[in-house]
Amino acid sequence: MKTMRLSVLFALIIGCFARNVLAKTENKLTCVALVKKDSIVLRWVPTSVPVWQTGVRYGYVIKRYTIARKGVFIPDGLSHGELLNNVPIKPVDNEAFDKLALSEPRSAVVQEAVYGTAFQLPFEGSNFNGFMKSYNDREVRFGFALFMCDLSPEIAKAAGLQFTDRNVVPDERYAYSISLANVPDGMQVDPAVIVLDAGLITTLPAVTDVDAIFLDKKVKFQWPVFLFKGTYTAYILEKSIDGVNFAPVSDLPLVNLSEDEDLKYFVYTDSLSKNNEQAWYRVRGMSPFGEAGPPSNIIQGKGEPEFMAYAVIDTAEVVDNSRIIIRWRISENKSSPVTGINILRSDKPDGIFENLTLKKMVPNTRMFTDIQPRLSNYYKIMLIGNDNLTSYSFPYLVQTEDNDPPAPPRMLVGKIDSSGIVTIAWKDNTEPDLLGYKVFRANTPDEDFISLSGIITSRNIYRDTINLNTLTKKIYYQVVAVDKRYNNSEYSSVLELSIPDTIRPSPAVITRIETTNGKVSIRLEGSPSHDIKSYELYRSSEYDAIPVLLARYEGDLPDFFDDIPTTQGAYYYLLKTFDYAGNSSVYNRYVYVQETTQKRINLRVEQSKNGRSIILSWEIPEGFQPVKTIIYRGKETAQVSIYYTLEGAVQMFDDNDIEINTAYDYRIKIFSSKGNVVVSSGEITFTPLLNSVSESK
């Protein structure tokens, strides 16, 4: 009895366990769970024969850890595990298996695998013998047992591989650990661990994207299994003859027979008793708990008889480059007679084919003349049989000679943005055999234009990138059209584009500033750039939130400008230069303006005899009792600031921290013993040279 059952199941089971189980060699347990309204069902699997045999002998223990309650994590939840089974879970005995076999005949497979002494299969033949050479008896037992457990929760429970936890609370999260009750010395087995919420009830998804092709008395099916990996281990294909009542097409669920663990699609072929009869199909998934998921969308269709006739185009002749004669041969038999012939043509092998015959030709026709051929012609012979059955020959390419180039592209337009991206476009050519366009560029209209990419673009728009930091003001483009025979058109007319000016103009400069009795005299020198539009002169002080515009000049810049600030203090004078593109540059100078009623000190500046320092000297006004002297210094265009402080009535300072050919600005303040009495010098600019130069301001 058991041997008979095994012989029936073997063909479907052999591929499943060979693919899913026997290839795995790690010693560990894996687990899945099914969350119900009032319970959690655990289903575990040993991943190798040694682990399975150890589990059969010693059984399994299950611990549950409550790690969260009402959404709040329990910090020590993983430290307090609750043992759910006082006695290790093991397979039931032979007597219990015999009783279960009355309602679950497939349980005999597991019983034989667990308790049988010689697990022999009744099949004989090359396929079976080849398979048995690859796997030993224990592995066969292991694979068969796991497959049967996938089909029935009762069998899985009897095999000691399933447990139901009925003491669960919906608002709690649990971590389950399933391990062997005893692990022999020298063996290491990783336990199965799974974490889940007791309130998230498991729902099985419907199988999607089921495809079917109805052929001659058969239907080929395909659906994605990678979307349901871990959810379904088998599938049920159901058929109906009325579109309402469905029944499985096989006694057992369908399983993957491929050894590829990463198989993405399940493929199955079902037979039809006759053609031209409507049939309806749908697919359900089967979970590891033996539960069937919801059905897929219904697919319907009819078997179609196969048309056995076919045609082959064997010759083609181009006549005067204006006509094409094609000839073909046909293979047919009496069961599939040809009733008509059509000639189809397209400009692409996978394009849309047009019918060149107004009415179908008689079956014995073997030649056709195309009197209006194109440059590229793909022909197909369409054979027509009874019941409008059809077959098609492979495409056959015939080309006419073409030495006529396309017209040059016209109406070129373009622009260049501020980041240097060039966009050019032109009117699209209308030639039916147009392949595309080549774009060329040059820096002058008289030099050779260079192909930009060497690639033929099919669009009538092109984007290029150029460097804007160049003195070149123009850039030039031309476009050439290319047909499918690689005939090139003449060059288009030259497109001239102006390059945006992003280079700042050379700044106008303030060559000298002098202060006299509160008046500031500024000497100016214009920019040497040729595209100058205007100048603006500003003054700013520590009291000004924004610089004050003193003057604006369109065109040339005057040589002098006089300014009278309202108060004593430090001022910056800024001279801005603008070109016609809106670019600007700035030059600034610093000056200190004394009050006109304040006593002045005559500051002298000279270069030392050895040329390595600048000597400052001054005279103290009569009756003035100095206690402190502050020396201010500025370098080049930098702001003048406190440089050194002298105590007492010192009247000379030797500045030895200098650089040759560098301009320095000096001024001093002397404070008296009275505290609020101060005398100051004017500002002097001095440049240490071989022949030193100083300017009083």
Q: What is the pLDDT of residues 329-360, one digit of tens each?
A: 999 888 789 999 999 999 889 899 999 998 99
Structure tokens at 333: 């038999």
Structure tokens at 538: 């500003």
Q: Look at residue 123 in the predicted model and tell me its pLDDT.
A: 41
pLDDT band for 632, please (50, 70, 90 cuts). Answer: very high
Query: Kind and range of the H or E element at 379?
Result: strand 376-385
Would residue 252 count as lying in a domain? yes
Pick the last residue of a domain from 301, 319, 343: 301
Query: Are residues 46 and 128 both part of a single domain?
Result: yes
Range scoring the smallest mean pLDDT among 25-39, 115-129, 605-619 = 115-129
Would residue 306 count as lying in a domain? no
SS3 state at 139: helix
pLDDT of 537 higher than 80 = yes
Q: Look at residue 172 in the predicted model and tell me its pLDDT.
A: 93
Query: Are residues 105 and 220 both part of a single domain?
Result: no
Query: Are residues 491 and 461 both part of a single domain?
Result: yes
Pick the last residue of a domain from 374, 399, 424: 399
Read off the CATH number of the domain in which 265 is found: 2.60.40.10
Query: Are residues 322 and 386 both part of a single domain?
Result: yes
Phi then psi for 3, rounded to 5 degrees? -60, -40
pLDDT band for 23, please (50, 70, 90 cuts). Answer: very low
Structure tokens at 15: 């591929």
Q: Look at residue 25 in the predicted model and tell me its pLDDT.
A: 56
Q: Domain residues for 32?
A: 2-197
* 624 closest CA partner among 680, 575, 580: 680
The Cα–Cα gap between 442 and 460 comes to: 19
- What percent of the chain is modeled with pLDDT above 70? 89
Name the domain count of the chain: 6
pLDDT of 165 higher than 50 = yes
CB within 8 A of 622, min separation 6: which ones? none
pLDDT band for 530, please (50, 70, 90 cuts). Answer: confident
Query: Are residues 139 and 282 both part of a single domain?
Result: no
Is pLDDT larger for residue 257 or for residue 72?
72
pLDDT band for 229, please (50, 70, 90 cuts). Answer: confident
Would residue 262 count as lying in a domain? yes
Would residue 359 count as lying in a domain? yes
The Cα–Cα gap between 275 and 293 comes to: 31
pLDDT tens digit string along 310-325? Answer: 999 999 999 998 999 9
Range scoring the smallest mean pLDDT among 1-10, 30-39, 666-675 = 1-10
Query: Are residues 483 and 530 both part of a single domain?
Result: no
Would residue 55 count as lying in a domain? yes
Would residue 203 count as lying in a domain? no
Q: Look at residue 136 in the predicted model and tell me its pLDDT.
A: 62
* β-strands 532-541, 495-498 pairing: unpaired
Report the chain's mean pLDDT, rounded to a whole number. Answer: 85
Q: Look at residue 654 in the predicted model and tell me its pLDDT.
A: 94
pLDDT tens digit string along 274-311? Answer: 988 999 999 999 998 888 999 999 999 998 888 889 99
Query: Are residues 479 and 537 both part of a single domain?
Result: no
Q: Look at residue 257 in the predicted model and tell me its pLDDT.
A: 65
pLDDT tens digit string along 402-422? Answer: 888 999 999 999 999 988 899
Q: Look at residue 674 in the predicted model and tell me its pLDDT.
A: 62
Query: Are residues 282 and 315 both part of a single domain?
Result: no
Do the Cβ atoms of 435 and 484 come closer than 8 Å?
yes
Query: Are residues 84 and 173 both part of a single domain?
Result: yes
Query: Are residues 613 and 519 both part of a single domain?
Result: no
pLDDT band for 484, please (50, 70, 90 cuts). Answer: confident
Q: Look at residue 15 in the predicted model and tell me its pLDDT.
A: 40
The Cα–Cα gap between 327 and 313 comes to: 6
Would residue 153 count as lying in a domain? yes
Pick the last residue of a domain from 440, 466, 498: 498
Summarize the confidence of residues 374-400 as an average pLDDT.
Answer: 90
Query: Are residues 605 and 587 both part of a single domain?
Result: no
Q: Look at residue 547 in the predicted model and tell me its pLDDT.
A: 85
Would residue 638 count as lying in a domain? yes
Query: Kind and range of the H or E element at 146?
Result: helix 137-151
Query: Are residues 60 and 184 both part of a single domain?
Result: yes
Look at the block and give the residue holding tokens 């003048």: 640
The Cα–Cα gap between 450 and 442 comes to: 6
Q: Look at residue 563 in the predicted model and tell me its pLDDT.
A: 82
